[in-house]
Structure 1
Amino acid sequence: MKQNKGIFAGIFVALAFAATLVGACGVLLESGLRAHAPVERYGAAAAVVTGPRSVENWVKPWGSEPEKQTRPLTEPARVPLAAAAKLRAVDGVQNVVPDVSFPVVLSSGQAVTGHGWQSAALRPYKLTAGHAPQAPDEVVLSSGTGVKPGATVQVQADGKPRPYRVAGLVEAGPSAAFFTTATATALYGHPGKADALAVLGKADLDKDALSAAAPGLSVATGAERGDAEDLAVAAARPDIVEIAGSFGGIAIMTALVIVGGLIVLSVRERAREFALLRAVGATPGQVRGRLVRETARIGVPAALAGGVLGLGLGAAMHAAMRHEGVLPDGFGLSLSPLPALAAVAVTLLAAVGTAFLAALRVSRIRPVEALGEAAVERAALPRWRVVTGVGFLVVGLNALGVAAVTTGPTAAASIGGLVMALITAMALLGPLVARIGNRVLGRAARAVSPVSGRMAQHTAGAAAVRAGSLITPVALAVAFAGVQLFAQTTVAHATRTQAHAGDRADRVIVADGPGLPRDVADAARRAPGVTAATPVKSTTVVMPVKELGEQNLRSLNARGIGADAAATMDPKVTSGRLGDLRGTTVALSRDVAGGLHVGSTARLWLGDGTKVEAKVVAVYERGLGFGDVLLPHDLVAAHGASPLDDHVLVRGDTSNLRAVTAAYAGTRVITPDAFGASLSQEIRLQGFVNLVVVGAITGFILIGLVTTLAVATAARRREFALLRLVGATRGQVLRMLRLEAAIVLGTGIAAGTLIVAVTLPVFATAVTGLPLPSISPVSCAVILAAVVGSGGAAILLPARAVLRRRTSPTLS
């Protein structure tokens, strides 16, 4: 029918955007599942043998069978050179090349990767000038470095720069420096081991035979060779999968709330039409079938269009993350029809299922009762709706309790589910919330304009079910955007605050290149007036963390720190001593300590997968500012991909550090404030993924809000016509609508704000120990302006268009 075109258009728009959002999350999820680093240096290798690339741990959840948990390693697990002999004996293997990699800095300040000359055959690199390195002081460089054969360059590895003669150049490619095998082994620092064993031979080498020849090691072929070359992509995969899955679930729940509410509203607005069908003899099945078929006819093209658009949105989100440095350079985009098909299936199922449920009641009305039921809205909510709403409210309060008694990541993980549970409860109990809001805000509306205010309060109260459907997307927009956005800012603010409060250094030595040689800290410590110089090296450890009574394997940010760390940093130790951190010991933040205390033994895996049983010597509070795990510096350096430090914290008279920075290429001294600014930039990048996805979901919520309000307003043409017939002027009707919009939007904003006000302090307490979330007034104003502006426009613009027409209050 002609009068239903607006409703159908609104449903089409909502379904299309729902499919777009679900499809975009599906693209990120598929990319996370399929991503492999590009194969570059190992292009000529048929297979690459490395140490284990992940950690496995068996846990037994309460009431369940034991299960295996895995986490990827962020640094290479070195392999013994002795394993090459057995690999060479495998049929089809022509040669096995041990590959070592280590960072070096040239005199020009350019950072390149050092290798033994035998690794040049793996890409392969071809000489374009000169000859291979033959003497210990010879090096071959990539032609892109701009150095000519025969020149002398200063090369800095893990020590002061040393002169090397450029023996030759290789074709342009990933910047590299090739040394003799003996020199590379010395600079690598791990004799008898290599980062990988590259197998040269037939392209169809038997992977099982290689695995049998190298027990306990990982064999990569095909695209997996890229993961052996660059662990960053494999390490990022689980996080992207977790983020995409989490936000995908929230996107689906959001779509159900928005699309479901819109369909229920459309059914209600067409109640008179269905009543007429029942009155002229249509059976309940015919009424339900008609509504389901109509929804399917709208849903199929909408879902297909949205699914295709979802591929584009997902690609755009992936590109934005790559551009901002959130994803590693090699983290590729995977595009296939699967996310689009999944989006179509989810969206259609939600639409058809909601339409069927919404049609149940209207189709069960007896023909003689049909017109009466259509004209009068029932005051009481159905019992199932009240019971279900209370159930979701209990679930939400339970999640709130979980967030209150947990810390760190567990508390953060419960926030999304908490918000959606409370919003679903409000959607089901919306008419009750609408009546409460109408009583409170209706009085204010009467005070502003006695006539129009009374009309606004009456119309909002007489259609509480409709008002409940309208305030749900309003509350959802405020609650979701507020909680997700300010939870991130709370964590970021707490991280900066903890780092600043615990900073005792007077200066920080940093590197412009890949890192600082290990003896920079010793040189700084020897400078006159310096009382402490603490080398700091970041890493990632894998550790079972107790969460809600169960052990879960987690990848944790960790730092290796020098013996004098207590003089340059204060992580706010609550038990034990930071000075006892030596040998195989560990200090843990309260967020991951769980039941561990000083004197306990913590089982963890270092960056290269080495399992250690470390004695806990301290527990501290500032885990956000200093990482969840602190380890002895030498322990981290011995098991890291690089021996270089990230920075050195210096305490004392730092005026004599110029000699230190002059002796090492690419080093400089900065103030703690400047170092804090770089930390803020890193924190911003870490929150970028959350910001992108929150922006996409909030945008969809606002689109759903506008669509719902516009459809509801346009469907009231008969009501507006009746008001005009009984003497209300156009201005009075518009004034009534403004006040009614204020009541509906105000109630929704108040409900959403209540959810934010209940959730954020609990989250802040779990994360920082204080119920003080970090909330930006400007961001609050933007959220409220977006909701009020879009909501008000969605109500008033369609109303103005309807009131311009001459409409008679017929049943048509």
Structure 2
Amino acid sequence: MRGRGAFAGIFVALAFAATLVGACGVLLESALRAHAPVDRFGAAAAVVTGPRNVTDQMGRFADEPEEQSRPLTEPGPVPVAAAAGLRGVPGVRDVVADVSFPAVLSSGRPVTGHGWESAALRPYRLNAGRAPLAPDEVVLSRSSGMAPGAVVRIQVDGPPRRYRVSGLVSEGPAAAFFTAATAAALDGRPGLADALAVLGDPDEDALRRAVPGLAVSFGTERGDAEDPAVAAARPDIVELSASLGGVAVMTALVVVGGLIVLSVRERAREFALLRAVGATPGQVRGRLLRETLRVGAPGALAGGALSLGAGAALHAAMVRKGVLPDGFGLALGPLPVLAAVATTLLAATATAFLASLRPSRIRPVEALGEAAAENPRLPRWRVVTGAVFLLAGLNALGFSAGATGAAANASIGGLVISLIVATAFLGPLVARAGNRVLGRAARAASPVAGRMAQHAAGTAALRAGSLITPVALAVAFAGVQLFAQSTVAHAARTQAEEGNRADRIVVAAGPGLPRGAAGSVRRVPGVTAATPVKRTGVVMAVKELGEKNLRSLNGSGIGSDASATMDPGVSSGRLGDLRGDAVALSRDVAGGLHVGSTAPLWLADGTRIRARVVAVYDRGLGFGDVLLPHDLVAAHSASPLDDRVLVRGRADLSAVTAAYTGARVVTPDAFEAGLSQEIRLQGFVSLLVVAAITGFILIGLVTTLAVATAARRREFALLRLVGATRRQVLRMLRLEAAIVLGTGIAVGALIAAVTLTAFAARVTGLPLPSVPPLACAVILLGVAGSGAAAILLPARAVLRRRTPPSLS
């Protein structure tokens, strides 16, 4: 079979494409099936909580609303009184009102506090001592290292208090069990519980009817009631895996399509002979499709099998880096493999069919002439299709300029792919334009070899166009993905630094700072302001290009003196008016809202409020999209603890840090360094995407260039026969490679520059993306070096023979 090099390249490209698509499928299936592990509620038949999702009617058009839903980041409380209705359901043996709150032992070890009745839910069993009976008694996990009768200091929402250890429970998650009354007092929400755990064997439908408006979880869903983090991460991972899978499919179409086009061109004489001896167009197309399937099917199957391991490795890396929460399980099934095989084979057959149209349609009398000389004119359909994708890319550019936050980030992928596909269709025109510019430089560097290189690149514009596309794709994709993340990270660091007015920051090594810490700091002589900051999440309808969509937004609850310790860049309104049900919004999510408007939103526990907008600010990347009054956030949070206290003044805070376990004072620079680490972890997904997709593109690039070079044996033989030396041919190839690779790199850099400029203008307010020089150099040198090697190494192998290769 002729074209073995091209078929080998198609096999490798399809195998990698199937691996990548299948790995995204594994991540998608894991997200769709993900539930937090059931641990603390292991003995419960069902768990009743507040609603775990926010659902509202949104829509593209006012008369056709659609239902949108977003998960809540914290469990909504349930009335303890609802337990009475549950106890009347047949099969219910008991109902435990479970409260959970963070606590810290005097050793600095974090534990979770509960009432003693909750010990039966895992169940925890006493190994020593007895249950707590007095308000100052506690049962600890054996892993605490304490013994019955010992006195331990435990900090919950105030200075540490002394408790006597009455007993120890078996190994499990670190916990501290108090009497029911003590636990309710420490939790600070009288009459409310985090969950109602049902013991026994109740009827599911009857249980749901007993508590209308509340969420009832059975089976694996009990894990979501125990830890909402997995459920909260699920929609983002679904979007990420679907987006990455779509990019992988489009990349496979471009890479595999280029290889198949080269295969058809390499075998043009064969198809011409078939047409000349009477083969019908259908027979020629059928032959090419069958050969593509014979090569593609094993490659797709091999990649599909490898995709399970690749997906598992991707999942493990994301869990290890904290991108996925603990307990986000891995699901391995046949569906991702089948989808990967079907998708890659469909892509291969579709591109093979398109590539076969021209050689199968020419008339037999013209077949040999078509094979001998390349038609300098592009088919009209190809020009029109390329123009359509170019317009689509420009439209995506306008969308990126008008979108906000996550929508702007998502739009850049579509922009890059549209422009790259346009480059693939218009590649010969781009190659000729690049040849006119870079060819002059090649002739200036070496008159003879440069003229030969310019002539070779110009007379084979179709081949050059096929080579330019993967080069441009590698540069554009890697550049956009890496530098979009670096632009956001740099802007976030800059905004946080410029907006900081605090002299020092009090933080905690454990789960957080008690609410009284800010007041203690404020009472220290020399402190002029002490602002408690509590992270939170809200769900809000955000207007994007005229449409409203529910979005999960990061925010903070801040104290009343925040204007003295932070400057989020308020452009309208006053931060000092942030009290009651007021809200301050970043310009990215404000949309058509302004000071005085009402913004409906859902707090972390699902409580819906109609917040009054009192300020709009510009530094959303550095301070989050939403700022709320601290008291409002604390009242609707599962934890009473603050994340940090911003301090204005240089007083001695050693008395405060000594009073609270784990509290310490850091400088703003040290705190910003910690935030930078969090931002780098958030960019870990982008690095994974770049590594996977760019690696696949480079493999396709090297294969494409190597196949195209090896197919020029006859051309090299003719040059040798007419007197060209081996050194002259290699010099010509080096200059031709410079022309082709230079054109591809220039196109890719132009696409990346246009995309990043639009992205930076929308996200940061300035059309100045952050491009680290070292990373930029690595991308350019990596693409140029691998491309040059793929051209020159096969050429050296062909030219190494002492006698010129046969022209046959």
TM-score of the two chains, using structure 2 as the length reference:
0.99
What does residue 467 of structure 2 align with?
Answer: 470
Q: Which moved more, 1:189-198 or 1:84-93?
A: 84-93
* 2:6–2:262 Cα contact (<8 Å) kept: no
Residue 553 of structure 1 pairs with residue 550 of structure 2: yes
Task: State the secondary structure of the residue aligned to 2:463.
Answer: helix
Residue 199 of structure 1 pairs with residue 167 of structure 2: no
What does residue 614 of structure 1 align with?
Answer: 611
What does residue 728 of structure 2 align with?
Answer: 732
User: 1:630 and 1:8 mapped to 2: Cα distance?
Assistant: 58
* 1:560–1:632 Cα contact (<8 Å) kept: yes
Residue 769 of structure 1 pairs with residue 744 of structure 2: no
* 1:534–1:650 Cα contact (<8 Å) kept: yes
Q: Which moved more, 1:757-766 or 1:388-397?
A: 757-766
- What CA deviation, in whole Å up to 9, does each residue of 1:372-410 have, x standing for no partner? 011111111110110111111111111111222333332
Aligned runs of 1:532-547 on 2, under 5 Å? 532-547=529-544
Aligned runs of 1:490-505 on 2, under 5 Å? 490-505=487-502
What does residue 67 of structure 1 align with?
Answer: 66
**Structure 2: which amino acid aligns with 1:185?**
A
Q: Which moved more, 1:264-273 or 1:289-298?
A: 264-273
What does residue 37 of structure 1 align with?
Answer: 36
- What CA deviation, in whole Å up to 9, does each residue of 1:503-544 have, x standing for no partner? 000000000000000000000000000000000000000000
**Structure 1: which amino acid aligns with 2:475?**
V
Per-residue deviation, 1:653: 2.5
**Structure 1: which amino acid aligns with 2:379?**
P
User: 2:619 and 2:405 mapped to 1: Cα distance?
Assistant: 11
Residue 296 of structure 1 pairs with residue 273 of structure 2: no
User: 1:563 and 1:275 mapped to 2: Cα distance?
Assistant: 81
Residue 689 of structure 1 pairs with residue 685 of structure 2: yes
Residue 159 of structure 1 pairs with residue 158 of structure 2: yes
User: 1:808 and 1:678 mapped to 2: Cα distance?
Assistant: 63
What does residue 103 of structure 2 align with?
Answer: 104
Task: State the secondary structure of the residue aligned to 2:60.
Answer: coil
Per-residue deviation, 1:642: 0.1
Task: State the secondary structure of the residue aligned to 2:548.
Answer: strand
Residue 721 of structure 1 pairs with residue 720 of structure 2: no
* 1:528–1:653 Cα contact (<8 Å) kept: no
Residue 84 of structure 1 pairs with residue 97 of structure 2: no
Residue 135 of structure 1 pairs with residue 134 of structure 2: yes
**Structure 2: which amino acid aligns with 1:668?**
R
* 2:718–2:807 Cα contact (<8 Å) kept: no
User: 1:29 and 1:727 mapped to 2: Cα distance?
Assistant: 59
Per-residue deviation, 1:310: 1.5
User: 2:786 and 2:754 mapped to 1: Cα distance?
Assistant: 26
* 2:3–2:266 Cα contact (<8 Å) kept: no
Per-residue deviation, 1:242: 0.8
User: 2:507 and 2:59 mapped to 1: Cα distance?
Assistant: 44
Task: State the secondary structure of the residue aligned to 1:557.
Answer: strand
What does residue 488 of structure 1 align with?
Answer: 485
**Structure 2: which amino acid aligns with 1:72?**
P
Residue 28 of structure 1 pairs with residue 27 of structure 2: yes
Task: State the secondary structure of the residue aligned to 1:39.
Answer: coil
User: 2:572 and 2:450 mapped to 1: Cα distance?
Assistant: 63
- What CA deviation, in whole Å up to 9, does each residue of 1:445-502 have, x standing for no partner? 1111111111111111111001000000000000111111101100000000000000
**Structure 1: which amino acid aligns with 2:215?**
S
User: 2:410 and 2:4 mapped to 1: Cα distance?
Assistant: 42
**Structure 1: which amino acid aligns with 2:330?**
L
**Structure 2: which amino acid aligns with 1:631?**
L
Per-residue deviation, 1:729: 1.1
What does residue 793 of structure 2 align with?
Answer: 797
Q: Give RMSD over aligned pairs.
A: 1.0
User: 2:66 and 2:580 mapped to 1: Cα distance?
Assistant: 32
Stretches of structure 1 lacking an aligned partner (at least 5 in a row): none
Task: State the secondary structure of the residue aligned to 1:642.
Answer: coil
Stretches of structure 2 lacking an aligned partner (at least 5 in a row): none
Residue 747 of structure 1 pairs with residue 743 of structure 2: yes
Q: Which of residues 506, 513, 525 in structure 2 aligns to 1:509?
A: 506
Task: State the secondary structure of the residue aligned to 2:61.
Answer: coil
Aligned runs of 1:371-390 on 2, under 5 Å? 371-390=368-387
What does residue 219 of structure 1 align with?
Answer: 216
* 1:717–1:807 Cα contact (<8 Å) kept: no
What does residue 566 of structure 1 align with?
Answer: 563
**Structure 2: which amino acid aligns with 1:49?**
V
Task: State the secondary structure of the residue aligned to 2:585.
Answer: strand
User: 2:281 and 2:761 mapped to 1: Cα distance?
Assistant: 53
Per-residue deviation, 1:809: 4.1
Q: Which of residues 654, 662, 666 in structure 2 aligns to 1:670?
A: 666
Per-residue deviation, 1:62: 2.3
What does residue 460 of structure 1 align with?
Answer: 457
What does residue 705 of structure 2 align with?
Answer: 709
Q: Which of residues 587, 592, 600 in structure 1 aligns to 2:584?
A: 587
What does residue 46 of structure 1 align with?
Answer: 45
**Structure 1: which amino acid aligns with 2:406?**
P
* 1:50–1:79 Cα contact (<8 Å) kept: yes
What does residue 636 of structure 1 align with?
Answer: 633
**Structure 1: which amino acid aligns with 2:265?**
R
What does residue 328 of structure 2 align with?
Answer: 331
What does residue 438 of structure 1 align with?
Answer: 435
User: 2:221 and 2:798 mapped to 1: Cα distance?
Assistant: 62
Aligned runs of 1:204-353 on 2, under 5 Å? 205-353=202-350
Task: State the secondary structure of the residue aligned to 1:7.
Answer: helix
User: 1:702 and 1:157 mapped to 2: Cα distance?
Assistant: 54
- What CA deviation, in whole Å up to 9, does each residue of 1:180-219 have, x standing for no partner? 00000000111111101111112xx432221111100111
Task: State the secondary structure of the residue aligned to 1:134.
Answer: coil
Per-residue deviation, 1:290: 0.6
Task: State the secondary structure of the residue aligned to 1:727.
Answer: coil
**Structure 2: which amino acid aligns with 1:754?**
L
User: 1:570 and 1:563 mapped to 2: Cα distance?
Assistant: 13
User: 2:19 and 2:487 mapped to 1: Cα distance?
Assistant: 30
How many residue pairs get matched? Answer: 807
**Structure 2: which amino acid aligns with 1:273?**
E
* 1:719–1:809 Cα contact (<8 Å) kept: no
TM-score of the two chains, using structure 1 as the length reference:
0.98
What does residue 574 of structure 2 align with?
Answer: 577
* 2:721–2:804 Cα contact (<8 Å) kept: no
Residue 421 of structure 1 pairs with residue 445 of structure 2: no
* 2:570–2:617 Cα contact (<8 Å) kept: yes
**Structure 2: which amino acid aligns with 1:658?**
S
What does residue 185 of structure 2 align with?
Answer: 186
